[in-house]
Structures are given as structure tokens and as C-alpha cells.
Structure 1
Amino acid sequence: MPSIAPDGKPESPGKVEVQPVAKDNEIRKRIADILITTSWFGEPRVAVQEGIVFLKGTTENDEFKQWAGDLAKNTEGVVAVVNQIEVAPATIWDFDPTFQELNDLARGFVRLLPMIVVALIVITISWILARLTVYLLRRGLLARSLSHLLREVMARTGGMLVMLAGLYLVLRIAGLTQLALTVVGGTGLIGLVLGIAFREITENFLASLFLSLQQPFREGDLVEVAGVTGYVQRLTSRTTVLMTLDGNQVQVPNSTVFKSTIRNFTSNPNRRDDFIVGIGYDDSIPFAQEVALKVLAEHPAVLSEPEPLVLVESLGPSTVNLRVYFWLDGGQHSWLKVKSSVIRLVKRAFQDSGISLPDEAREVTFPHGVPVRMIEDEGAVESATAKPTAEPETVATKAEASLQSEAEEIKEQARRSWTPGENLLTLSSSTDDS
């Protein structure tokens, strides 16, 4: 039988011997039998005269025609070869190659059946082990104060690694070691590609994991992050939801929260506040400091430790500016209300002590003189000369309401509001409270 090279081309025939002595009819019969046996030629005809071989017939390509010529040339006793075989491509409706390919595929599938059965068994066992791993990790992580999202991610990651190990084993059994290594390496590559394609989503998701792990704040804490001040409602897989002091719900992306500076006013409830008050140059600075310190010492919302301070800030155009520092418990009192109360009481104490409160903005110039008009009505005179009502000595006025913190009211508004997403801080908050 003729042989075919790996590239599909027929290999050149070797030396053909005709024993004992080559005759024309023997040469013709020998070459014709070989051509018919190959089934590469249609109606092959061989004629030999005086050692000259004439080849006729049809074939599918030039390689087969060349092979027939080489066959005749290498036959013993051949003087010359006249190759008249015509190259006629096979018709497109020739299904023999297709049937042959299907036959080869069927045989290959039958040979692979044992390997396929083993692969299915390994994949099934890997799937069962992966599910068991996820279950055991979930149960094992319940004892730790982790958020639900973090526990779920860790459990599913363990199951995915077990499933990946099973897939690697199947590929090794199939003899596809290189493909197995490619799959293992490609898993990280796919993760990298997805991370680049969904960069913002990936950043927010990873930031939520780190925030759940580090827990820089708890549910209900008053924080300032990315320029937004509010009470923490919940931490979702994408955003941190805050209820601002004016009752608005703000969602800050977790990636922004993780990369920003977080000010937690609840972790340490004590807070220091300050304001500036200006006195005249003719007034005694130590005396003004003593008056302000007395107000701070007698105020019920101002803490004695750390002690309040009254320091000289600067020398203005018409005033000596004093900065008043004081501490308060932000968990019990509102610093806005306490600051308002302290400023009002310091101003009244300065006035009662004869300390002037000048301001260049109060200076008025009358370039054309001061107009004077006589008032004849006694009621009008009494009204014009009446002194304003004295300021109250109470710590909190009706306008300031109580000095109590409004945190509970804002938290109640937050509980009544609709907030999207699962709260990842619920577990950590409940664990700490217990």
C-alpha cells in the first residue's frame, strides 16, 4: 500500500523490481495493479512500449499525478515515462471525506469513553467537596465577628479553590498538562481582566470587605467622610449610607470612604469647640479672661476636664480678640446649641462687667451732620427712650431649646427612612452591644 506523509502529500515510491527480467506487459500489469490499489486514480490506464510507460486517467491533485510518474520511473526496466494523467478536482458533493471524518470521530469517542467516565466522577466528587467546604467554612466563621458578606466571600472562595483543584486533576488525567496549567494561570488572568473592566465596581466591593474587616465605625456613629457629616445608617456592598444632620440621606461610594480621612465623633464623645470675642483696647485682658472662665465654669454642659481656656488670639484694628475654648459631651449635648448658649452668656457677662465689645463695623460716619427731629408725642418719647429688655440669665433660651443632643431624633428618622442594600454593620454592632 502507498504511504502518505503527515502533510497529506503522498511519499515518493521506492525502487520497484520486476523479476526475473522486465517485459513490457509485466511492467504494465505491475504499475496498473498498484494504481488501482491506491484508489487515487479514476480509470487508470497503463501502456508500455519498448520500456516507455504511458500513463492515462484522472486524479484529484498534482501530488497524486507526480506520485504515479515517480512510481513508473522507479519501476525496473522503464526507460522513460509519459505522464498523461489529468488532474480533475473531486466534485463538491463528494461526502466520502466527511463520512470518513465522522467515522474517525466516533472511534475516537469510543476510545475516550473510560476517560470521560472517570472525569465525570472526579468532577462530581469535586463539586460535593466544594459544597461541603462552603458549608463548613460558613459554620466555622459564625463564631467570628465578621459581616455576612465577608463570611460568604471567604466560604465561596474556599469552595472555588476545591472545584478548581478537581478541574486541574481531570485535565491531568486526560493528558492535558499544559492546558491544566493554562487554566490555573488563566483564572488569575480572567480575574485581572474583570477587575480592569469593572474597576469601580471591584473597588467598591473590595473596599466594603476591608471596611467590614476593619470596622472604622459602627451603625449609628456620627462621622465625617468625604466632606459629608452624618450618622451611619448602614454599610452595603457598594456604598456607605449616612443620614446628615439636616435629615438628608447621602450614599458615599465605599472606595471613597476607604481612601478618605474618616472623623468619628462618636468613638470619643468629648468634643472641643471654640469661638472668638473681641474686647476694647482700654479693657483689662486678664479681667475679661476671668469673666469668660467663670461663665464656662458655671455652665452645666461645659466639662471641667479638660479645662476650658481663654487665650489671646490677635490684635485687631479696634479690638483685642480672645478665643474661648471649651469641651462638652457630644453624646449628651448638641455642640451647636451649647456653643450658642456659651456665646450668649459670655456676651452678657462682659456687658454686666463693663467690658466693651467694639467693632469697626459699627462705626458710622455722617458727612453732612446729624439730622435732629423733635418728638412731641409723650408715648413716642417713652418709646424712644425705653431700654431694651435685659438678656435672660438662663443657660438655654426658648430659641435654643434644650441643650440635649438631637442624635436620637435623627437616628429615629434614619430608622423610618428607606435604605437600600444589606447592612454589613449589623453583626458587628450587635456583637459589640451585647
Structure 2
Amino acid sequence: MKIRKIAISLGWIFCTALTSLAQDDVPDQFAADAEIEAVKSAPADVEVQPAVTDQMIEERLENILRATEWFLRPQVEVNEGVAFISGEAETDEHRKWAGDLARNTQDVVAVVNKLQVTPKSIWDFTPAWIEIQRMGREAVQATPLLLLGLLLFGLTWVFATMSMRIAFALFENRLPSPLLRHVISRAIAIPVFLFGIYLILRISGLTQIAMTVLGGTGLIGIVIGIAFRDIAENFLASILISIQRPFSLGDLIQVGGHEGVVQRVTTRGTLLMTLDGNHVQIPNATIYKNVIKNFTANPKRRFDFLVGIDYLDSASKAQDVIQQMLEDHEAILDDPEPMVLVEELGTSTVNLRVYAWIDGSQYSAAKVRSSVIRLTKRAISDAGLTMPDEAREVIFPNGIPVTMIDDQRRTRHPHEQESSTSVPAAEPETVQNESEGGFSSEIEEIEKQAQESSPPDKGANLLDTAEQE
């Protein structure tokens, strides 16, 4: 009885074990009919059916390769789970995709990919045509954004123009320089325009380009500032000159070693016409950084010169004689009054410095000075004063032969004796002479020549515009 129970128990245990083993040997069944969506993503697992054969794997893989139409004469051979793929593929990506497909197929243990990439002809324009088609599709898709961008660009242009005009109107009465008003109005309009361009690029989906525009604006400004430093310096100097106006058109100035009449001031430089009738164009940066001597700002001009008299003559008498001559001269101003001062005691003369003032807008300083020097010489001679030459000491170490005066006079030609005893010719009493050509200023003649000449710079005259306003 006990043996029977033991036998029944062992049989139940044996049946239970067989049942569990049978359940473990039953494989799971899955369907593998997913569609291929992209070239680069092959199926992760291709199942045929449980206990597939090599022939079934061949048929399944060949059918998939032919269905894609990416391969020419595709063939698949499977031997003991090793798949051999041959034929031609259009691209390397297709070839790799076929290998991944076979590798992920159920019961395939290895893949030998013998696919050859079909060489393209040099006359094959298919890639170019495909690219053109793609660009055409993108252009059609971008048409709405393009139209919106054009609309926004037009609005940006309108807003920038309006802001520039409003700024120009606001500063019209506050800033005397029209150039400065234009610069400020454009400085306000440019940020408005750049902000509009930024919005257009952002709306069009070109965010990276929009950020590049914002970042590149400052970089471009630095590059332009370095490359055009001298031009920018002249431009800023022209703005400062047009604001401060240290001189006006027609003024006689001296700057940087050049003296002339101001003809025009442009954004590049200042044009002068020298008293020789030549055009001189000086960069505005040089004008602004150098000392400017304006002879026209104050019409009264002073000149001076030095005259020496003999030690035996009276210095006070010489001063009175020259002072009277200055007071009688028609071109010399009484206020400020002329002066005759003793400056120094020279080696052989007492030197007097003569100071006199004229109206530079009416008279030429060079002509009046010539007349005064000439009349000073005549006044000194008429007063019995002398103007000796400077004393010189000459040493003859070896001696020099001497001839007695009486003997020399007896042998001299008669007309030489007359010339030795002749008296110097007296100066004419006229204040002006023909050589000096009157005392009128040369400015009028220079302006006349400037009107007849062709200026080298055709730019807008900043001073002329400012003075007209």
C-alpha cells in the first residue's frame, strides 16, 4: 500500500515537471510587418515565424529589398543563419540600411553585405534637379513669410523715416548746425531700422541670423572705426567746427603754417585761398587741433618795424618826428594810438620800435607798412637825423696799403668827383606811390578770384548753410 502511494506521488511529480518543461519550450509568436519609414532607421527586429528556415529568410529579405526600389537586382542567400546580400545600391546609406535590415531579422546570426554602390555618371544631373525641386518647394512654403517680411520691412522704413523727420524738427531751433541735426536724426533712425530688421528675421524663423545682426552691428562699428579712423576724425571735427564756428566765410585766417581766405568747409576739410591765389585744402582734424589765427574777427590789425638812429642824434626828437608822421597818415588809426618806443641800444644805433594800427577790413597791412617805413625814412632825413649802418670791426693782420685822399681826388675822373659829393635824392611827399598801388585790402581781389576759380571739393558748404539759416 505504501509502495503504491509512493509510486503515485512520483508520477505526479514527474508529470508536473514535464508540463513545466513543455511550457518553457513554447516560443512567443510576434508579427513583423512594420512599414519602412526612413533610410537611416531600419527595423530593430524582423520576425518571420517560429522555427523559420533559411529559405524563408531569403524570400522575406529579398521581398523587402525589392519593395523599396532602392536596389538593382538584389539577391539574398542564407546558409545556417548567415545572410549574404548582393546586388547594387543607389547610395551608401541604402547599402548600410540593407545590412541593418538583415542583421535585425529573426534567426540571422551574421550578415555579409556584398552590395555595390552604383557609380554615378558625370552627366547625371539628378541631384541638382532634386535640389532645385527642394528649393522650389521651400520657396513656395516660404512665400507667406516672405510677403509678411516685405510688409514689415516697409513699415520699418516708414517708422525710421518718420522718427528721423521728427527728430530733425525737434532739434531745428535748438541746434544751429544743420550737419549736427542730420547726424542726430540719423542716429535716432538707425536703431529703429535695426530693430525692425531684427523683428523680420525673428518672425521668419531666422533667429540665429537675427542674433548675428545684433552682435555684428557693434563689431562692424568697431571695424569701420578702425579702418576709417582719419575719415571719422575729420567728420567729427567738421561737426564741431560747424557748431563752434571759429571763423566765417571770407575770413583771413592762419592755421598750420597756411594763411588764406576761407572759401568753404566740407565734411572732409577746409578750403583756403592764399594771398598768392592758390587753393589749400586742410583736413578738419588739423584745423580743429591747431592754433587758429583769425585776422578778420577783429578788423583792427597792428604792425611794427624797427628803425635805428645815430647815437649823436636825439632819440626824443626822432620819436616826435615819427609820431607826427603816423598821426598824419590817412590809414593809421588814432584809437588805438600809434607808438614809437626806444627798444634797445645797438652796437652803432639807438633802435626805435614803431607800432601802428590799421583797419584790416579796408586797408592792406603790407601796403600800409611799406608806406609808413618809406615815410619814416623821409621824416628822419628831413629832420636832420641820420641812420648809420651797423659798426663793423675788420682786422688786417698783414697790413693794407693806404692812398691819401688828396692824391686820389687829383687822379679821379671829373664825373666821379661830382658823384662823390652828390646828395641822396629826397623821398616824395606823397603818402601813396604807384608801386604800392593804394592801400585797399587784397581780400576783395582774393574773393573775386575765388568766384572765378573752380573749387577742388564739390561738397556742401557747412558754414554757408549755417549762415543762411
- Scaled by the length of structure 1, the TM-score of the pair is 0.81
Alignment of 1:395-406 (within 5 A): 395-406=431-442
Structure 2: runs of 5 or more not aligned: 1-34
Could you tell me whether the CA contact under 8 Å between 2:347 and 2:391 is conserved in 1?
Answer: no
Query: Which of 344, 348, 356 is 2:386 aligned to?
Result: 356
Residues 244, 74 of structure 1: alpha-carbon distance in 2 compared, 3 angstrom cutoff:
closer
Secondary structure of the residue aligned to 2:305 is: strand
Distance 2:394 2:434 in 1: 33
What is the deviation of 1:218?
0.9
Residues 108, 362 of structure 1: alpha-carbon distance in 2 compared, 3 angstrom cutoff:
same
Query: Which of 283, 292, 311 is 1:281 aligned to?
Result: 311
Q: Deviations for 1:203-255, whole angstroms, at most 9, x for unmatched residues?
A: 54444333323322111111112322222222234343323223334333444
Alignment of 1:23-422 (within 5 A): 23-60=53-90, 64-136=94-166, 143=173, 146=176, 151-190=181-220, 192-194=222-224, 202-360=232-390, 368-369=402-403, 371-373=408-410, 387-420=423-456, 421=458, 422=460
Secondary structure of the residue aligned to 2:45 is: coil
The runs of at least 4 consecutive aligned structure 1 residues that moved more than 6 Å come to 361-366, 374-377, 379-384
Distance 2:153 2:87 in 1: 56
Distance 1:343 1:95 in 2: 96
Could you tell me whether the CA contact under 8 Å between 2:175 and 2:181 is conserved in 1?
Answer: no
What is the deviation of 1:191?
5.0
Distance 1:294 1:30 in 2: 133
**In terms of mean alpha carbon deviation, does 113-122 or 94-103 score higher?**
94-103
Q: Which residue type is aligned with residue 197 of structure 2? A: L
What is the deviation of 1:84?
3.3
Residues 317, 362 of structure 1: alpha-carbon distance in 2 compared, 3 angstrom cutoff:
closer
Q: How many residues align?
A: 426
Could you tell me whether the CA contact under 8 Å between 2:348 and 2:391 is conserved in 1?
Answer: no
Q: Which residue type is aligned with residue 355 of structure 1? A: L
Could you tell me whether the CA contact under 8 Å between 1:218 and 1:428 is conserved in 2?
Answer: no
Could you tell me whether the CA contact under 8 Å between 1:232 and 1:243 is conserved in 2?
Answer: yes
Residues 13, 127 of structure 1: alpha-carbon distance in 2 compared, 3 angstrom cutoff:
same
Q: Deviations for 1:12-49, whole angstroms, at most 9, x for unmatched residues?
A: 65233333322233322332233234443222222334
Paired-residue identity, %: 50
Distance 1:430 1:104 in 2: 61
Could you tell me whether the CA contact under 8 Å between 1:145 and 1:427 is conserved in 2?
Answer: no
Distance 2:117 2:433 in 1: 113
What is the deviation of 1:287?
4.7
What is the deviation of 1:267?
0.6
**In terms of mean alpha carbon deviation, does 215-224 or 391-400 score higher?**
391-400
Could you tell me whether the CA contact under 8 Å between 2:254 and 2:294 is conserved in 1?
Answer: yes
- Please name the residue that 2:17 is paired with: none
Q: Which residue type is aligned with residue 287 of structure 2? A: V
Q: CA RMSD in A?
A: 3.7
Secondary structure of the residue aligned to 2:465 is: helix
Distance 2:277 2:111 in 1: 103
Distance 1:258 1:321 in 2: 40
Distance 1:82 1:300 in 2: 120
Distance 1:145 1:66 in 2: 74
Q: Which residue type is aligned with residue 455 of structure 2? A: T
- Please name the residue that 2:462 is paired with: 424
Q: Which residue type is aligned with residue 408 of structure 1? A: E
What is the deviation of 1:373?
5.0
Distance 1:203 1:350 in 2: 56
Structure 1: runs of 5 or more not aligned: none
Could you tell me whether the CA contact under 8 Å between 2:234 and 2:283 is conserved in 1?
Answer: yes
What is the deviation of 1:114?
2.4
Distance 1:78 1:410 in 2: 105
- Scaled by the length of structure 2, the TM-score of the pair is 0.76
Q: Which residue type is aligned with residue 85 of structure 2? A: L
Q: Which residue type is aligned with residue 428 of structure 1? A: A
Residues 93, 3 of structure 1: alpha-carbon distance in 2 compared, 3 angstrom cutoff:
farther
Distance 2:410 2:266 in 1: 70
What is the deviation of 1:169?
1.7
Could you tell me whether the CA contact under 8 Å between 2:378 and 2:426 is conserved in 1?
Answer: no
Could you tell me whether the CA contact under 8 Å between 1:59 and 1:65 is conserved in 2?
Answer: yes
**In terms of mean alpha carbon deviation, does 180-189 or 39-48 score higher?**
180-189
Could you tell me whether the CA contact under 8 Å between 2:178 and 2:466 is conserved in 1?
Answer: no
Secondary structure of the residue aligned to 2:131 is: helix
What is the deviation of 1:170?
0.6
Distance 2:445 2:435 in 1: 18
What is the deviation of 1:258?
3.3
What is the deviation of 1:122?
0.6
Distance 1:193 1:382 in 2: 84
Secondary structure of the residue aligned to 1:342 is: helix
Q: Which residue type is aligned with residue 372 of structure 1? A: R
What is the deviation of 1:358?
1.2
Q: Deviations for 1:401-422, whole angstroms, at most 9, x for unmatched residues?
A: 4434333333233333333524
Distance 2:82 2:392 in 1: 132
Could you tell me whether the CA contact under 8 Å between 1:25 and 1:48 is conserved in 2?
Answer: yes
